[in-house]
Amino acid sequence: MITLHGFAASNYYNVVKHVLLYKQIPFEEHLIFSGGDEWLEISPVGKVPALTTSDGRHLSETTVICDYLEETYPERPLYPTDAGERAAVRQIMKISELYLELPARRFLAYAFSGKGAPEPVKAEVRHVVNRGVGALSRLCQFSPWIAGEEMTMADIYVHYVNKIVGSVGSEQLDWDILAQIPGMKEWNRTLRDAAITREVEAGRVANEPAFQAYIQAFIASGKSAVK
Ligand X SMILES: N[C@@H](CCC(=O)N[C@@H](CS)C(=O)NCC(=O)O)C(=O)O
Give contact residues for ligand X (rule: CB under 6 A): 10-12, 34, 46-48, 61-62, 226-227
Q: Closer CB to ligand X, residue 49 or residue 80?
A: 49
Least distance in Å: CB of 96 to ligand X?
A: 12
Q: Closer CB to ligand X, residue 106 or residue 122?
A: 106
Least distance in Å: CB of 115 to ligand X?
A: 19
Q: Closer CB to ligand X, residue 47 or residue 134?
A: 47
From residue 154, give the alpha-carbon distance in Å to each of 20, 32, 158, 204: 15, 26, 6, 21
Handedness of CA 184, 113, 199, 42 (dihedral sign): positive
Q: Closer CB to ligand X, residue 88 or residue 226?
A: 226
Environment class of 194 (CB within 10 Å of its CB; exposed 0-12, middle 13-18, buried 19+): middle
From residue 65, give the alpha-carbon distance in Å to each of 15, 25, 52, 68, 199: 10, 13, 10, 5, 20
Least distance in Å: CB of 227 to ligand X?
A: 4
Count of CB atoms situated within 10 Å of the CB of 195? 8
Q: Closer CB to ligand X, residue 11 or residue 152?
A: 11
> Is 176 in a helix, a strand, or coil?
coil
Least distance in Å: CB of 17 to ligand X?
A: 12
Asked whether 146 and 140 are in contact (CB, 8 A), the reply is: yes
Least distance in Å: CB of 211 to ligand X?
A: 10
Beta bridge partners of 203: none
